[in-house]
Amino acid sequence: MTINSSVKSQVRALALALLAATTLTAGDAAARDKAGIRDAEIERILRGYSEPIFRVAGLDPKSVNIYILNDESLNAFVAGGQNVFIHTGMITTLKSPNELKGVIAHETGHISGSHLARGPEAMAKAEVPMIIGMLAGIAAIAAGAPDLGLGLLIGAQSFAQREFLAYSRTQESAADQAGVKFMNATGQSPRGMYSVFDLFADQEALSGARQDPFVRTHPLSRDRAATLLNMVDASPFKDRTDTAKELEDYALMVAKLRGFIESPEIVLRRYPFSDHSAPARYARAAAYFRSADLESALSQVDSLIQERPANAYFWELKGQILVESSKPKEGVPAYRKAAQLAPGEPLIQTGLGSALLATEDETLVPEAMKHLKIALKDEPENGAAWYYLADAYSRSGDEALAALSTAERFFALQRYPQALNFAQRAQTRIKETSRDWQRANDIISISQNAITKNGGK
């Protein structure tokens, strides 16, 4: 029997659609659709949670990326290799650092177990009998036996889903065991991991539309939950709790997220003015800033700075508020203070560089270049920093390096036709065999290959 390629492709598409909700790689498309969030403070906290876990898992922390997605649903997943995606909804809903560390440890278990690499094999195994069954069902319908054909179609789909779910649950159990191992190896309690999964256990009885994404991508049976609890109870660190500093940093992180992503009205109800805690003032500062109430926003952040003048992120927020309120000259000192207190933060260096350029004071361009280059040394794929550096070079009259910086920006964004265009433009103006000329040449070569591979795109 031969199979028409168009029919086969349609059946395959249907198969993949039926199975997508249960696969960890289903997050790939979601990751592209959601707006990513970058914040120096939040990234520092998440790195502090994750790097010890990555190390005991045998992973190089520099090779594992953590992305924050602006999505209120409760979810975290691994996609595209060593990439961990965490929804803001997960961060703001969980109650403690230990719970979020447990989620990170579990997702690290998927990376260390190479589950994403093996996922397509399991899908293929489930897909073959499903295609055969569905084709038999189609043939039965065509032969005048619609009831039999419909039964074969439904049965084929059900079989494939059961096959893949069995594999997925095996993955999840393996990730549980690895996650507990990693938490123990770092001297932390794995209880938070159980608390998170116990939170979602009852949702498996809900319809897919009502379930949180975490449940659909992390199927959790009661047996699996019981096994996880036994592992937690056996941990020598089961009663270890978060430190006061960790709890405070977590509260500030949650407040900052809420202040920037929730509507100001909700933020001010959640953190009423009667609440004088640091997290409440932090959230209100962001909410007032987004409401264009500059005076109130500065009042809140200034009170935080007065209490904790060594907190770089309070100074960073003040700088952001002033620069984005069209007061860059007033914002530069705050950014300078933030950069002084946190010299290793590329995002703060980028913010300072952009603030200096926003003053329109040409005497500050060299200083802006210095900070942008510091940022790019640690984050060579920081597209924003390349954008501002190109602007700085252009203002200083160096159009060759402005073009090369623009090529770097497009290259970092994987927009290869534009990267090729600007790299070729830069190369004609740069001394041949110089380091910059060679870098332009590398971008040209890689971009040409990528364009050819992508069919001219």
The reported pLDDT for the residue numbered 171 is: 80
**DSSP secondary structure string for all residues of 89-131:** HHHHH--SHHHHHHHHHHHHHHHHTTHHHHHHHHHHHHHHHHH
> Given a cut of 80, is residue 114 above it in pLDDT?
no
In a domain, 238, yes or no: no
Q: Which of 233, 266, 290 is the last residue of a domain?
A: 233
Residues 186 and 208 in one domain: yes
Residues 316 and 204 in one domain: no
The reported pLDDT for the residue numbered 173 is: 83
- pLDDT per position as a tens digit, 269-300: 999 999 999 999 999 999 999 999 999 999 99
The reported pLDDT for the residue numbered 433 is: 85
> Given a cut of 50, is residue 18 above it in pLDDT?
no
> Given a cut of 90, is residue 8 above it in pLDDT?
no
Q: Which of 233, 257, 276 is the last residue of a domain?
A: 233
In a domain, 239, yes or no: no
CATH number of the domain residue 362 falls in = 1.25.40.10
Residues 68 and 162 in one domain: yes
Residues 155 and 281 in one domain: no
Which candidate, 37, 24, 18, places its Cα nearest to that of 75?
24
- pLDDT per position as a tens digit, 317-358: 999 999 999 999 999 999 999 999 999 899 999 999 999 999
> Given a cut of 60, is residue 261 above it in pLDDT?
yes
Residue with the larger pLDDT of the pair 301 and 199? 301
> Given a cut of 80, is residue 408 above it in pLDDT?
yes
- pLDDT per position as a tens digit, 43-56: 999 999 999 999 99
Residues 36 and 109 in one domain: yes
Total structural domains in the chain? 3
> Given a cut of 50, is residue 25 above it in pLDDT?
no
Which candidate, 411, 412, 430, places its Cα nearest to that of 421?
411
The reported pLDDT for the residue numbered 132 is: 54
Residues 254 and 304 in one domain: yes
Alpha-carbon separation of residue 67 from 43, 76, 113, 153 (angstroms):
9, 10, 20, 39
> Given a cut of 70, is residue 89 above it in pLDDT?
yes
> Given a cut of 80, is residue 198 above it in pLDDT?
no
Residue 394 to residue 61: CA distance in whole angstroms: 36
Which candidate, 421, 424, 414, 423, places its Cα nearest to that of 454?
414
Which candidate, 192, 172, 182, 167, places its Cα nearest to that of 110?
172
Residues 161 and 51 in one domain: yes
In a domain, 303, yes or no: yes
The reported pLDDT for the residue numbered 161 is: 45
Residues 58 and 198 in one domain: yes
- pLDDT per position as a tens digit, 359-402: 999 999 999 999 999 999 999 999 999 999 999 999 999 999 99
Given the structure tokens 């953190």, which residue do they identify?
Answer: 271
- Let me know: does 108 contact 188? Beta carbons within 8 Å: no
CATH number of the domain residue 176 falls in = 3.30.2010.10
Residues 212 and 287 in one domain: no
pLDDT band at 210 (very low <50, low <70, confident <90, very high): low
In a domain, 84, yes or no: yes
> Given a cut of 70, is residue 10 above it in pLDDT?
no
Residues 49 and 135 in one domain: yes
Residues 157 and 187 in one domain: yes
In a domain, 259, yes or no: yes
Residue with the larger pLDDT of the pair 270 and 69? 270
Residue 215 to residue 60: CA distance in whole angstroms: 29
Residue 290 sits in which domain range?
244-396
- pLDDT per position as a tens digit, 213-247: 555 555 565 777 788 899 999 999 999 999 999 99
The reported pLDDT for the residue numbered 378 is: 92
In a domain, 43, yes or no: yes
In a domain, 457, yes or no: yes
Q: Which of 211, 233, 255 is the last residue of a domain?
A: 233
Lowest mean pLDDT among 61-65, 73-77, 233-237, 435-439: 73-77
In a domain, 185, yes or no: yes
The reported pLDDT for the residue numbered 188 is: 97
Residue 113 to residue 171: CA distance in whole angstroms: 8
The reported pLDDT for the residue numbered 174 is: 87
Residues 88 and 203 in one domain: yes
